[in-house]
Structure formats: structure tokens, C-alpha cells
């Protein structure tokens, strides 16, 4: 009887060891496949694809962009108030047309707008706007950048324009404005050598 008990205990131990070995073998053979399946799942790929690399080498986070960049082109509604352009003209010493309506603006005004308005958005927004807004055959953007903004982006745009006009009204020269604006909103700037 003792021999039968010893044999059954040994058989049970051998069976347990074999089951453990089988479980280990299964884990070793199936484990990597399960890991690949979880890393290659749609959810995992979606997270990876949330970030894309632009041609320039910059990596942008699409989730952040979706807050500000719309998937469609919005209708053109005037966003930049005449006060904004009048103040730019005044600070630069340019002639303001009679009636105070500025329809033609020198090209440099677009550069100013990029720097002082769109430059305040998160850093990924401007490259995305530039990428979305193609040029026509004579080198002019087909749309206004703000036509690609979400309602949240438009809200920020209006806020940035209003804040800029307030600072402009308290300055006498363009360089003074740029200096004050940069100090207030914490971005680097370089004024010209001459005022």
C-alpha cells in the first residue's frame, strides 16, 4: 500500500511538473504573439498615429491640432477688424485712406499677422494652417488661415486680435508695440536697429 501511495504522489508531482512545463511552453510560444496583437491593435495604432512627422521634421500631436484646426474649410467671415489694420498703419507711419477703410494692405502686414496673432497659438497650429492653405499659381493663399480654425480656434483668434489692438493703441511706434507685445505674451523678438 505504501508503494502505491509513493507511486501516486510521484505521479501527481510529475503531472504537476508537466503541466507547469506545458504552461511555460505555451506562454513562451503564444506570449510574443499576444504582445504583437495588442501592440498592433487598432487602438494602439490610433495612439501612435495621433502624432505625425511633417516634412520639416517637426512632430505634431493631432489631438492638440483637432482642438484648433477644422477638418473642413469654413466660410469666409471677416475676422480682422479695421481697428487692427488702422493701428498697424498708424504705428508704421503709413497713410490711412480717407474714411478709414483699409482694403489694400502691403504684404508685410501678412507677416506681422503671422507673427503677432498666429504665433500665439500652440506651435503645431501654424505649420498645420500653412500646410492646409495651398497657394494659387501666382503665389497667393487660396483661403484665409482662419477659415481652417475650429470654433475654439476662432475664439482664440478674436481674443488675440483684440488684445493686440489694445496694446497697439497704447504705443507710438511699431517697434514699441512689438516689444510690448512680446514682453506681455512671452515670445522672442528682435527689433530693428532703427526706430
Question: How many residues are listed for the chain in this entry?
Answer: 195
For residue 19, pLDDT over 60 is answered with yes
pLDDT range class, residue 84, cuts 50, 70, 90 = very high
Q: What is the pTM of this model?
A: 0.66
3-state SS class at 65 = helix
Structural domain contains residue 15: yes
Q: Are residues 104 and 12 in the same domain?
A: no
Neighbours of 84 (CB within 10 A): 21
Residue 7: the pLDDT is 59
Looking at the structure of the chain, the number of domains it has is 2
- 67 Cβ contact list (under 8 Å, min separation 6): 150, 152, 153
The pLDDT confidence band at residue 61, using thresholds 50, 70 and 90, is low
97 belongs to a structural domain: yes
Domain that holds residue 44: 2-48
Predicted confidence band at 195 (pLDDT cuts at 50, 70, 90)? very low
Residues 6 or more apart in contact with residue 149 via CB below 8 angstroms: 68, 69, 70, 74, 129, 157
Amino acid at each position: 500500500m505504501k508503494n502505491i501511495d509513493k507511486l501516486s504522489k510521484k505521479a501527481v508531482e510529475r503531472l504537476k511538473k508537466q503541466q507547469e512545463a506545458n504552461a511555460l511552453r505555451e506562454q513562451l510560444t503564444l506570449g510574443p504573439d499576444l504582445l504583437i496583437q495588442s501592440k498592433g491593435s487598432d487602438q494602439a495604432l490610433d495612439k501612435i498615429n495621433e502624432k505625425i512627422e511633417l516634412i520639416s521634421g517637426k512632430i505634431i500631436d493631432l489631438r492638440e491640432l483637432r482642438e484648433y484646426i477644422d477638418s473642413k474649410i469654413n466660410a469666409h467671415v471677416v475676422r480682422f477688424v479695421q481697428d487692427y489694420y488702422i493701428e498697424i498703419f498708424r504705428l508704421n507711419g503709413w497713410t490711412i485712406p480717407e474714411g478709414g477703410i483699409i482694403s489694400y494692405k502691403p504684404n508685410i502686414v501678412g507677416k506681422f499677422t503671422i507673427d503677432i496673432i498666429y504665433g500665439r497659438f500652440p506651435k503645431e497650429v501654424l505649420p498645420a494652417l500653412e500646410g492646409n492653405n495651398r497657394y494659387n499659381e501666382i503665389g497667393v493663399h487660396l483661403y484665409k488661415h482662419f477659415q481652417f480654425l475650429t470654433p475654439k480656434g476662432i475664439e482664440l483668434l478674436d481674443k488675440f486680435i483684440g488684445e493686440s489692438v489694445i496694446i497697439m493703441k497704447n504705443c507710438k511706434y511699431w517697434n514699441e508695440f512689438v516689444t510690448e507685445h512680446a514682453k506681455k505674451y512671452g515670445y522672442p523678438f528682435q527689433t530693428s536697429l532703427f526706430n
